[in-house]
């Protein structure tokens, strides 16, 4: 069994600082580490080697100091390493990175059975490189792997992966590209003396020229996307700490404030507002939105992106177009038209369902190549993060992942806003290829008002020659799917942190949520501890929500979390630590032990006719 693990040395996010005057990152004194997801990939590869024999080769692309990551990976049990080190690589984006890694695998590890990557890197958090490497190699892939079973004789792997609404089991033929999720395996720990004992001769250093690339094909000059500006993501809220003679008085004071602010008026969102029908646009550059469905119903993010595409079409004198994988009903046409679509393309082929990323990526690429839209916007869902990178790699297009905003600059260029380093900064990205491709986080744009009586034309796009997939879906199970949808749509959300102390304390939170008609979500740590389903995680690597009221309970609230609640109308934080980060993202703060305060707030809520 020959396994390649692609790893990346990344800055420790908590060490990264931003210079507001120069608008640059301060890297001096920053600790560099192996990307945590890559550590899991190394560990799983070593375990498979121990079980089935063979060897594990590490590959990294980076400056001379990235050699330290390879030494640590070798100390974890890898057999050899390849360091792609060349000054011309500076500024390489994800597509160039994927091209270089794929070429290195083809030339230096041509007999590889498996290629492992981390699910994403913690500095950029796009998750694009794995699917793009798979596309460039022509291999199937499984992203977000949480467990696996390998049949070496049959050359087949069965893996379970995370999805937005649960888990999915797939079976694929080797060779395969796999990306490791956090829960795949506990990473191997090594001591400094173990790293120091590694023979440096196990690392082979190669240059761009040795891989067959010219300098203008790599680095900034070869990258289809480029950073034009870095901005600090500053908090816009200023907390007011509530004071009173006792906690009961503070609970009543908070309740009165919530009533005054009008965030307790109802248990559900008001019905979508309707406005007079906007004429269907019939000309101009096309801005596409790939629509995703849950059964017969379009997901909420599809409406959010169509509303944004319609706004951009107004600015660019273009058309907003919906791209649907499969046929559409009359009701679906009406629905998509009401969200602002001027045209609907339906991609139709028997192999499109159930969802297989390789097939969707190929289908989308073929339609893009034929019609050449101005931009293609895809949801940054578990599905969109897989088929969009494959389509982009297939066509050689730049792709900006996990955007939280889109802007049109003075030159009428579409700028994509992407968070990085745990949400502490936002990079403005310019794409130099056409169409512009981006994945957009659910929840960052509002649900659009509906336009009555719009009937956009529908154009069928039959594809009869799509490749038969080399993997198949064995099973899908929902876990927290219904709760996740409630979380995205709720007008009141209670977010809980690890300060809760244990899952048994969720009963108190659920009682308050039932009284308020609220949904419950959690921090990344709560999800990692298994107290709530992963689908209920709020934050940069979870869901972005926009409730009228967000009540954070026993939640520290770092930038990763606070970026997921920045569109909340009102944020209230309850924490015993007055220095907790969550207060920097809150409008009102209560410094108290939640076990004492929340029962009092619940009592006040039960006495009140509102809530």
> What's the pLDDT at 34?
95
Which CATH number covers residue 281?
A: 3.40.50.620
100 and 18 share one domain: yes
Domain match, 435 and 544 both: no
Please determine, for residue 103, whether its predicted confidence score (pLDDT) is greater than 70.
Answer: yes
**Cβ contact 512:518 at 8 Å:** yes
pLDDT of residue 165: 82
Shared domain check, 326 and 251:
no
Instruction: Specify the pLDDT at position 174.
Output: 97
Q: What percent of the chain has pLDDT over 90?
A: 74
Q: Taking all residues of the chain, what is their mean pLDDT, rounded to a whole number?
A: 91
Of the pLDDT bands very low, low, confident and very high (cuts 50, 70, 90), residue 274 is low
Residues with Cβ within 8 Å of residue 311, at least 6 apart in sequence: none
Looking at residue 452, its pLDDT comes to 78
Q: What is the CATH number for 524? A: 3.40.50.1220
Among the candidates 407, 441, 472, a domain finishes at 472
Is 193 in the same domain as 245?
A: no
Task: Please calculate the CA angle 183-189-195 and round it to the nearest 5 degrees.
Answer: 140
pLDDT value at 162 more than 90: no
Q: Do 496 and 533 share a domain, yes or no?
A: yes
pTM of the model as a whole: 0.87
Residue 108 lies in domain: 2-139+175-223
Tell me if 165 is assigned to some domain: no
Last residue of a domain, one of 223, 255, 284: 223
Domain end point (choices 409, 439, 472): 472
Query: Do 280 and 201 belong to one domain?
Result: no
For residue 145, tell me if it sits in a domain: no
> CA dihedral in degrees (467, 471, 477, 480; nearest 10)?
-70
pLDDT tens column, 399-444: 999 898 999 999 999 999 998 776 667 899 999 999 999 999 887 8
Q: How many structural domains compose the chain?
A: 3
Quickly list DSSP for 559-606: HHHHGGGTT-SEEEEEES-TT-GGGGG-SEEEES-HHHHHHHHHHHHH
265 and 280 assigned to the same domain: no
H or E element that contains 488: helix 481-489
Same-domain status, 458 and 563: no
User: 13 φ, ψ to 5°?
Assistant: -55, -40
477 located within any domain: no
Contact 113, 144 (CB under 8 A): no
In this structure, the answer to whether residues 562 and 516 fall within a common structural domain is: yes
pLDDT of residue 564: 83
Same domain (yes/no): 347, 218: no
Give the mean model confidence (pLDDT) for residues 262-275: 60
Please state, in angstroms and as integers, the Cα–Cα distance from residue 350 to each residue in 142, 258, 291, 464, following that order: 21, 52, 18, 8
Domain membership flag for residue 152: no
Q: pLDDT value at position 409?
A: 94
Say which range, 37-41, 94-98, 260-264, 519-523, has the weakest mean pLDDT. 260-264
Residue 339: closest CA among 361, 360, 313: 313
At residue 271, the pLDDT reads: 45
The model's confidence at residue 383, banded by pLDDT at 50, 70 and 90, is very high
Between the two ends of the chain, the Cα-to-Cα distance in Å is 60
Rounded distance between C-alpha atoms, residue 567 and residue 204, angstroms:
48
Residue 380 domain-assigned (yes or no): yes
Q: Is the same domain home to 416 and 283?
A: yes
Q: Is residue 154 part of a domain?
A: no
In SS3 terms, 169-198 reads as EEEEECCEEEEECCCCCCCCCCCHHHHHCC
Whether 217 and 260 share a structural domain: no
Tokens of 110: 């041509």
- pLDDT for residue 107 is more than 60: yes
Per-residue pLDDT of 481-509, as tens digits, reads 677 778 877 899 999 999 999 999 999 99
In a domain, 383, yes or no: yes
- What is the tens place of the pLDDT at every residue in 175-230? 999 999 988 999 999 999 999 999 999 999 999 999 999 999 999 999 999 999 88
Residue 125, pLDDT score: 76
Interior/surface letters 564-580, b for 16+ CB within 10 angstroms, e for the rest: bbbbbebbbbbbeeeeb
Q: Which range (86-100, 133-147, 214-228, 435-449) has the least confidence?
A: 435-449
Q: Specify the 3-state DSSP secondary structure of 100.
A: helix
* Structural domain includes residue 167: no
Distance CA 386, CA 226 (A): 22
């Amino acid at each position: 069994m020959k396994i390649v693990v692609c790893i990346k040395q990344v800055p420790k996010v908590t060490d990264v600082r931003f210079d507001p005057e120069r608008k640059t990152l301060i890297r001096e004194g920053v600790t560099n580490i192996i990307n945590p997801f890559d550590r899991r990939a190394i560990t799983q590869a070593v375990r498979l080697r121990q079980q089935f024999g063979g060897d594990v080769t590490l590959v990294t692309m980076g400056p001379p100091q990235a050699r330290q990551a390879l030494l640590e990976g070798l100390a974890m049990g890898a057999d050899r390493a390849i360091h792609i080190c060349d000054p011309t690589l500076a500024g390489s984006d994800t597509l160039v990175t994927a091209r270089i890694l794929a070429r290195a695998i083809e030339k230096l590890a041509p007999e590889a059975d498996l290629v492992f990557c981390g699910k994403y890197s913690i500095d950029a958090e796009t998750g694009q490189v794995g699917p793009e490497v798979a596309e460039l190699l022509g291999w199937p892939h499984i992203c977000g792997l949480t467990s696996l079973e390998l049949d070496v004789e049959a050359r087949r792997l069965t893996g379970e992966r995370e999805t937005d609404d649960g888990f999915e089991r797939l079976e694929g033929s080797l060779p395969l590209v796999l990306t490791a999720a956090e829960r795949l395996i506990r990473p191997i720990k090594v001591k400094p003396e173990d790293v120091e004992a590694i023979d440096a001769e196990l690392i082979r250093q190669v240059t761009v020229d040795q891989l067959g690339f010219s300098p203008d094909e790599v680095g900034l000059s070869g990258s289809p996307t480029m950073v034009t500006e870095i901005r600090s993501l500053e908090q816009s809220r200023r907390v007011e700490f509530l004071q009173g003679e006792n906690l009961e008085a503070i609970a009543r004071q908070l309740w009165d404030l919530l009533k005054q602010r009008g965030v307790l008026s109802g248990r559900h969102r008001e019905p979508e507002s309707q406005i007079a029908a906007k004429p269907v646009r019939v000309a101009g550059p096309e801005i596409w939105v790939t629509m995703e469905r849950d059964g017969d119903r379009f997901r909420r993010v599809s409406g959010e992106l169509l509303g944004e595409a319609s706004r951009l079409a107004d600015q660019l004198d273009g058309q907003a177009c919906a791209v649907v994988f499969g046929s559409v009903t009359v009701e679906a046409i009406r629905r998509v038209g009401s969200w602002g679509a001027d045209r609907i393309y339906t991609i139709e082929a028997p192999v499109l369902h159930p969802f297989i990323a390789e097939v969707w990526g190929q289908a989308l690429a073929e339609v893009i190549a034929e019609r050449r839209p101005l931009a293609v916007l895809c949801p940054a869902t578990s599905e969109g993060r897989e088929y969009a990178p494959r389509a982009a790699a297939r066509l050689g297009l730049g792709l900006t992942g996990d955007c939280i905003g889109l802007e049109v600059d003075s030159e009428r260029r579409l700028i994509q806003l992407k968070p990085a380093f745990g949400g502490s900064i936002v990079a403005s990205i310019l794409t130099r290829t056409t169409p512009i491709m981006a994945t957009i986080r659910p929840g960052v744009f509002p649900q659009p008002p509906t336009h009555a009586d719009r009937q956009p034309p529908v154009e069928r796009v039959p594809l009869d020659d799509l490749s038969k997939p080399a993997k198949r879906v064995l099973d899908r199970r929902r876990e927290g799917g219904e709760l996740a949808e409630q979380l995205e749509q709720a007008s009141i959300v209670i977010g809980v942190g690890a300060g809760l102390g244990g899952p048994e304390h969720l009963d108190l939170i659920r009682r308050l949520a039932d009284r308020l008609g609220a949904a419950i979500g959690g921090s990344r740590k709560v999800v990692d501890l298994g107290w709530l389903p992963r689908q209920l995680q709020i934050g940069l690597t979870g869901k972005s929500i926009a409730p009228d009221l967000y009540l954070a309970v026993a939640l520290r609230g770092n930038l990763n979390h606070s970026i997921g609640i920045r569109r909340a109308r009102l944020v209230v934080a309850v924490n015993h630590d007055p220095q907790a980060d969550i207060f920097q993202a809150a409008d009102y703060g209560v410094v108290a032990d939640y076990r004492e305060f929340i029962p009092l707030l619940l009592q006040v809520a039960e006495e009140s006719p509102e809530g």
